[in-house]
Chains A and B, each alone.
Chain A
Amino acid sequence: MSDLLRLATAGSVDDGKSTLVGRLLYDTKSVLADTLDAVHRASADRGLATPDLSLLVDGLRSEREQGITIDVAYRYFATPKRSFVLADTPGHVQYTRNTVTGASTAQLAVLLVDARKGVIEQTRRHAAVLALLGVPRLVLAVNKIDLVDYDEVTFSRIAKEFTAHATALGYTEDAVVEIPVSALAGDNVVEKSANTPWYSGPTLLEHLETVPVEPDPHDAPFRFPVQYVIRPRTAEHLDYRGYAGLVAAGTVKPGDEIVVLPSGRRTTVTKIDTADGELTEAAAGQSVTLLLADDIDISRGDLIASAGNAPTVTDDFEATLCWLAEKPLRPGARVLVKHGTRTVQAMVTELRDRFDEQALSSVDSPGSLELNEIGRVSLRLAEPVPLDDYSFSRRTGSFLVIDPSDGSTLAAGLVGAPLPELDAESCTEDGDTAAQDNRALVSPGP
C-alpha cells in the first residue's frame, strides 16, 4: 500500500470545508500547541464560544477578514498508516481555477455539501472538473448532518443523487463513497459518531487511510521528457553526456530500444545514472539521467519514448481546455503551449463545443470560452510535438496554455476529450434520470 495520498478538497462557500480540514488536522493531532493557542486567541477576539477551526487553514489576511478561503492551501498531516498532502481549494465560483489546480495532481477528492442544501450547482461543476482531470476517486462528505438532526433519509437522498451524477461522469460505484459528517461537532471525521447509528461505513479518516491508491502507471509505455543535458566536461567525465528528466510513464532498463521525438532517431539506453549510483531500472516518478549508445542530437524539449510504442507526433490536434483567465478565449487566438519540457507557439483554430456541466451536455461552436468554462478546441502548433491522450497519461497528455504577452497561465489543457461520454445524446438518451433531473433545474443559458 502506498504510504502517501495526495488529495484535494472542494465545496461551495460556507459548506464548512476549512472547518473540515481544520478538524482533520486537529483530530489527527497535526496541529501544534502554539498554532492552536493562536486560533483560540483569535476566536476569543471575535467573540466565539468555541475555537473556529477554519482559522487553522485560512492563512491570508483577506481570508480571515472575509471568513472565506481565497487561494489553494497545501496541508500536510500523517497518521501511523499514511502521509497526506492535502490541497484545500476555495469554493467561490470565481476561484474554480484553484479547484483545477488542486485536482491536477490529486489521487482522491473530498467534495463537501451542506446537508440542508444537498447537491447544488457548484457540486456538479466541481464533480465534472474532478472527472475531467482524471481524479480517480471521490468522497462526498455530507456536512452539517447535525443541522438536519442526523436524518438518514436526507443523507440517503443526497448520496443517491450524487452517485447518479458521478456515474454519469464516468465514475464506477466503488470509486465514490458518501459519508455523513459534522466538521463542527466532529461526527464521522476521525471518530465514529454515536449520532448516526444507521451509518455503517468508515469515518472520513478511516477511508483516507485505507482507500487503494492507483500507482504511477508502470505498465504503460516509457515516456521521458528531456529537461536538461548534463555535460560535466571535467577530466574525470570528459565524454559524459547524460539526458536528465523525470520518468513520466512506464519503466526503462539499460538495453531498452528508444526513439527520440520529434526527430524519430532511434538508439538504446546504455546506463541509468543518479547521484547515488547506477540503476538497473527506473520507473514513473523517478528523476534520473539516461546515457545512450549513439551520439545523436537531443536537447531540452525532446521526448524519449519506448521504440515499440511511441506517441504520435502532430502539429494539429484536438484538446479540452479549462479556461482560467479573465479575458475570454476566442477562435483564432495566438497562444503558447507548454507540453512536457517544450514550449511552442500555437493557434486556437476552432472552438468546437462548450461543456455544460449542469446538464452534462455540450453546446456546439460557442463564440468564446469564458473564465471557468470547459470546452473542446482545435489547436495548430508552429512545430510538431509528440502527444499522448490525457486519458492514457496525465503527465504526457497535459499542457499549459500561456499568454505570450504577459506570460500568465490561461488554461489547463488536456489532449483529446477525456469526457467523451458527456455528449448530450449519450447522457440523456440512455434514460439517466439524475441527468434529466439536473437539466430540469438549470435555467436556460444566454
Chain B
Amino acid sequence: MTLALDTLGRLESEAIHIFREVAGEFDRPVILFSGGKDSTLLLHLAIKAFYPAPVPFPLLHVDTGHNFDEVIEFRDRVVAQHGLRLEVAKVQDWIDDGRLQERPDGTRNPLQTVPLLDTITQHKFDAVFGGGRRDEERARAKERIFSLRTAFGQWDPKRQRPELWNLYNGRHRPGEHVRVFPLSNWTELDVWNYIEREGVELPDIYYAHEREVFLRDGMWLAEGPWGTARDGETLVRKTVRYRTVGDGSCTGAVESDAADIHAVIAEVAASRLTERGATRADDRLSEAAMEDRKREGYF
C-alpha cells in the first residue's frame, strides 16, 4: 500500500488545512460564492473540511445583475441543498441609490469592488475566501494564500507578509481583513481533473450548448440584460461553452463541442489560450489591469 498522495490529493489536503486554519483563528469568515466553477470547488472543499459538521461560514455573492440565469438557479439550488446561508450584495442597489454609477462601456465587473468592501465592513467579515488561483494571471501569481487588506480593502504588493512553511499569519487590526485563497496552487487543469474525480456538479453553461452570440473584440458575447449586438455585429447561433463565468457583459464564450467533463478536460489540456485571456474583456484593458483592480480591493 502506498501512502503517498498524488497531486490532486496534495492540493485537496492543502485546501482543507487552509479552511480549518481560518475556522480556528477568525471570528467572522465568509466564502465568496458566485456559482462559478472555482467557487463551487471552494464550497465542495469547505464541506469536506468540516464533515460531518456543517460548513461554519456563510456565503457571499456580489451580484452584478448581469448574471446568467442558469448560474443563479444553480447557486440557489446548491445553497438550499446544503442548508447554507447566502448573503447577496446587488450592484444594482448601489447604482439605484447613487453610491455607484454605471460605466459608459456597460461593464459591471469593476463595479463589484465597492459593494464587496461595503458588505465586508457592514458584516464585520474578517476573513474572506476567494477562488483565485495563481496560474490565472501574472499579478495573481504574486498573491499570498493569506492576503492582508487594509481597512480600505487595498492590496499592497510590496507590503505582503512572507509566507513560510504552512504557517499562516492571519493577525490583523480592527477594520482590516484577510483574503484567503485555498486554490492558490491549483491550475485550471487541476480544477477540472478534480471536478471529474469528485463528480462535482457545475452550471450547464460550462459544457457545450447552442446559444445566440455575437462577436465583439474577438470574443463571443451572449445577449442579455447587459445588452445585445450593436450596429455591425450580428447575432448568430453557435455551439459554445464558457471557460469562466462572470459578468455577462464582459465574459465571452468559446466555440466548443465539449459537452461533458471528459471532453472539457481534453480541450483544456490542448488549449493554447489562457482562460482569462480567451474570455475576459476586463483583463484586456491594460498590461496591469488585474493588479490595478486588486490594489483597489477587487479579488
Contact = CB atoms under 8 A, between A and B. Distances in A.
Partners in one complex: yes
B149 interface: no
Interface in B1-48: 1, 3-7, 9-10, 12-14, 16-17, 20-21, 23-24, 47-48
A2 B4 contact: yes
A398 B168 CA distance: 12
B234 interface: no
Contacts of B137: 59
Contact of A57 (B9, B138, B184, B274): B138
B142 A286 contact: no
A282 B274 CA distance: 37
Contacts of B180: none
Interface string B209-221: 0000000000000
Closest A-B pairs by Cβ, 3 of them:
A59-B138, A407-B171, A34-B277
Given A338-B167, A402-B169, A232 B54 contact: yes
Given A64-B287, A285-B10, A341-B24, 11 more contacts: A59-B137, A61-B292, A73-B138, A78-B187, A83-B7, A230-B52, A230-B53, A237-B52, A273-B51, A324-B162, A408-B161
19 contacts: A3-B6, A34-B278, A35-B277, A38-B277, A60-B142, A62-B158, A71-B142, A73-B141, A76-B134, A98-B162, A100-B162, A232-B54, A287-B49, A341-B21, A341-B24, A395-B166, A402-B169, A407-B173, A409-B164
A104 B274 contact: no
A4 to B, nearest CB: 5
Interface residues of B, number: 60
Interface stretch (A111-119, A243-251, A310-318): A243-251
A32 B185 contact: no
Contacts of B101: none
B23 A228 contact: yes
Interface string B152-167: 0000011011111111
B103 interface: no
B172 interface: yes
Contacts of A156: none
A38 B283 CA distance: 12
Contacts of B12: 287
Contact of A234 (B23, B52, B165, B171): B52
Contact of A228 (B20, B138, B165, B171): B20
A58 B142 CA distance: 9
A336 to B, nearest CB: 8
Residue among B13, B20, B50, B292 having the largest count of chain A Cβ atoms under 10 Å? B20
B89 to A, nearest CB: 27
A228 B55 CA distance: 13
Contacts of A70: 157-158
B51 A275 contact: yes
B296 interface: no
A71 B5 CA distance: 30
Interface of B: 1, 3-7, 9-10, 12-14, 16-17, 20-21, 23-24, 47-54, 134-135, 137-142, 157-158, 160-167, 169, 171-173, 184-185, 187, 271-274, 277-278, 287-288, 291-292
Contacts of B166: 105, 246, 395
B162 A74 contact: no
Contacts of B48: 274-276
Contacts of A72: 142
A85 interface: yes
Given A32-B274, A60-B291, A286-B5, A73 B142 contact: yes
